[in-house]
Amino acid sequence: MAIDRLAARAQLETRLGTDRDDLDLLDRFDRYGEDLFVALEAVYDPSIITRLLDIMASAHTARDAALHQRDRDRVLAPDWFQRPSTIGYVCYTDQFAKNLKGVAKRIPYLESLGVTYLHLMPILQPRPGANDGGYAVADYRNLREDLGTMSDLRATAERLHESGISLTLDLVLNHVALEHEWAVKARAGDPAYRDYFYVFDDREKPDQFEQSLPEVFPDFAPGNFTWNDDLRGWVWTTFNDYQWDVNWSNPAVFCEYADIIANLANHGVDCLRLDAIAFIWKRLGTTSQNEPEVHDITQALRTFARILCPSLIFKAEAIVGPAQVGAYLGEGEHAGKVSDLAYHNSLMVQIWSMIASGDARLFERALSRFGALPTTTGWGVYLRCHDDIGWAIDDGDAAAVGLNGHLHRMFLADYFTGVFPGSDARGVDFQIDPASGERRTSGSAASLAGIERALASKKAPAIDLAVARYLCAYSMVFGFGGIPLLYMGDEIGMLNDESYLADPAKADDNRWIHRPSMKWPAAERARDTPAPNASAATVVQHRIRAGIDGLVAARRSLEALHASVSTRVRATGIPGVVVFDRQHPAGHLVQVYNVTDSPKWIDTRDLGGLDGDVVDHITGHRFDIGAGMPLGPFEVRWLTRA
């Protein structure tokens, strides 16, 4: 059965007046409605549309004038997040500035870094006690009390907007906390709410599903189902036992989230990070990730938002393989109609892998798997985030360059925990797979890059090398194209922090080792030239901050970093040198990276046609490239024709 288009339009029209905002909404409905209908019809009964349009009309009426204007502005400038001037910053509100009012006070600091895109990690009301860093939401309509109120959220968004900074929040939509109202009602025996979750009376179905389901937290949350006495059943819990997966095949669930999205948008949120989006559709006999319905549902939600609040965009957190991730930015019928941004997990993993091995061939091979993106989308590019790193090296890619995938993953886990001979890294093992022995890794970017150990050694050459390694890796984040996401504290190279061990709600999850509080005195000092008697740590912080500032400035000056065009990656004749080639309408940009600790030479033939007089946008130097150029350890060049 199909949705009755004319009836739907008539329903919306009767709820609207004739002022400018109303006519705009109707105009967008006429323009994008079909994308909504088609996506809804792929998953739900047509009757869903009535409730959804009700939600849309109410939220539209509640939307304030400033946000209606923001919608108009962004309809005219839909590439606002793709521009080279977009610089992202990601932090926990409490660790960064205590609360939302504190964030507003720190805007000058963000401005000094050139930040235009701020992601505040989970701030909605979580469950008490252990809550997976806020990813176990108990109430989507209130904030964590110590962070502020919903009106503080609106006020903070306004302050950020005045400073040219957009606001991203998490939308955790695969699961809720078992304390969430829906789960409470389900536990009390309300059948309508029991249907909001996947609940099984006995182990028959769960056992069948388990055959093909991977485990996310095998150490502290083994299995994908949890027995609940109140439900007298097994409830689906992909992550921790207190995070209940919601049932997206239920249209009531879809409408709940549409309403939550509308409410967050009406508080000034510009981008929603769709947490664990790959998991929202379950299918027996599969891993229950990346199922086609995920993309239909995302298209329906995205189009709902595009009509209601076009200044809002979506960012997919889909930590999936190269073959699957493209679909989150839209492939085929979904192209440009799902998320606007997606995390480039493979790039992150491959940067660390390349740095560890000093060889670009696997990097080139893995990155060659990524086709061009829809031109209206972009990658979220990052070196570190609040999560562990899963060493997602594809066996086929490894084999193609003469490596064994399993052994390379083991090497990376060894290298980044400092076990491998010669490694300066100081990560820690996270979630060990008993069958294969493979482990994921926690640790701050600086500690993984060897800065912590180098500082402890007090040896200047080791410190120099670690800082160069760190900045080389971050240069790739700023140079790849897409939004560079600076993880809080990385602008000064903050190190691992073990203070989480004192908090029982955190102690068993070592991802907290890289989620420390901001070291404000150090961050504030880092912009100034250190005094002659300054400590080595202070000097390092200053050098990193200066390096990041340089990357921000170079990036902003290069139109060729606009995200609408993809980067091509090439290994060169020398294994330790990699080239990022951006054949861009705004000009040809060639980036060269020496990913090793020894000097190298790059031949002009490896520069994709760049020759003669060139400018290096990192140093500002202009020179004739001749037959090629030398590169110091971890040296980076961003070159265009002069």
Residues with a catalytic annotation lie at 275, 317
CA angle 306, 309, 311 (to 5 degrees): 85
How many CB atoms are closer than 10 A to CB 159?
A: 18
Residues in the chain: 642
Nearest residue (CB) to ligand GLC, 269 versus 356: 269
In 3D space, the residue among 589, 567, 582, 585 whose CA is nearest the CA of residue 638 turns out to be 589
- In whole angstroms, what is the distance from residue 144 CA to residue 146 CA? 6
State the nearest-atom distance from the C-beta of 68 to ligand GLC, in Å.
32
The reply to whether 343 sits near ligand GLC by the rule CB under 6 A is: no
Q: In 3-state terms, the chain is what percent helix, strand and coil (to 5)?
A: 45, 20, 40
Q: Which residues pair with 548 in a beta bridge?
A: none
CB of 275 to ligand GLC, least distance (A): 5
* 429 lies in the binding site for ligand GLC (CB under 6 A): no
| Shortest distance (Å) from residue 121 CB to ligand GLC | 9
> Cβ 511 to ligand GLC, closest distance in Å?
7
The beta strands (E) that lie in 363-506 are given as 378-382, 428-432, 439-442, 483-487
The only residue of 239, 328, 415, 487 in contact with ligand GLC, by rule CB under 6 A: 239
DSSP 227-238: EETTTTEEEE-S
* Smallest gap from residue 180 Cβ to ligand GLC (A): 13
In the three-class reduction of DSSP (H, G, I as helix; E, B as strand; rest coil), residue 219 is classed as: coil
Residue 540 CB burial class (10 angstroms; 0-12, 13-18, ≥19): buried
Cα separation, 128 vs 254, whole angstroms: 26
Q: Which is nearer to ligand GLC, 431 or 594 (CB)?
A: 431
274-333 residues near ligand GLC, rule: CB under 6 A: 275-276, 317
Binding flags for ligand GLC, 71-100, as an x/- string (CB under 6 A): ------------------------------
Cβ atoms < 10 Å from Cβ of 185: 15
Site for ligand GLC in 607-626 (CB under 6 A): none
Binding map of ligand GLC across residues 192-231, x = CB under 6 A, - = no contact:
----------------------------------------
Question: Going by C-beta distance under 8 Å and a sequence separation of 6 or more, which residues neighbour residue 46?
Answer: 1, 2, 3, 4, 40
Going from the C-alpha of 20 to that of each of 17, 27, 65, 71, 115, the distances in angstroms are: 9, 10, 11, 12, 33
Q: Is 135 in the site for ligand GLC (CB under 6 A)?
A: yes
In angstroms, give the least distance from the CB of 495 to ligand GLC.
21
Q: Considering only 132-140, 348-356, 357-365, 449-457, which stretch makes contact with ligand GLC by CB under 6 A?
A: 132-140
SS3 assignment, position 441 = strand
The sign of the dihedral angle between the CA atoms of 38, 39, 42, 48 is negative
Interaction of residue 172 with ligand GLC, rule CB under 6 A: yes
Q: Is 133 in the site for ligand GLC (CB under 6 A)?
A: yes
Interface with ligand GLC includes 547 (CB under 6 A)? Answer: no
Tell whether residue 132 is a contact of ligand GLC (CB under 6 A). yes
Distance from the Cα of residue 339 to its chain's centroid: 12
Q: What angle do CA 154, 71, 60 make, to 5 degrees?
A: 70
CB of 357 or CB of 510, closer to ligand GLC: 510
Angle in degrees, 0-180, between the axes of helices 48-62 and 292-308, rounded to the nearest 10: 40
Choices 129-137, 347-355, 546-554, 558-566 (CB under 6 A): range interacting with ligand GLC: 129-137
Q: How far is CA 337 from CA 33, 374, 378, 490, in A?
A: 12, 9, 13, 33
Q: Which residues pair with 483 in a beta bridge?
A: 380
**Nearer Cβ to ligand GLC, position 397 or 509?**
509
* Pair type for strands 439-442 and 622-624: unpaired
User: x/- site string to ligand GLC, residues 380 to 399, per CB under 6 A?
Assistant: ------xx------------
Nearer to ligand GLC, 281 or 593 (CB): 281
Q: How far is the CB of 168 from ligand GLC (least distance, A)?
A: 13
Q: Which is nearer to ligand GLC, 239 or 500 (CB)?
A: 239
Closer residue to ligand GLC (CB): 509 or 597:
509
Q: Which stretch binds ligand GLC (CB under 6 A): 127-135, 220-228, 523-531, 567-575?
A: 127-135
36: contact with ligand GLC by CB under 6 A: no
**Which residues form the interface with ligand GLC (CB under 6 A)?**
132-133, 135, 172, 239, 275-276, 317, 386-387
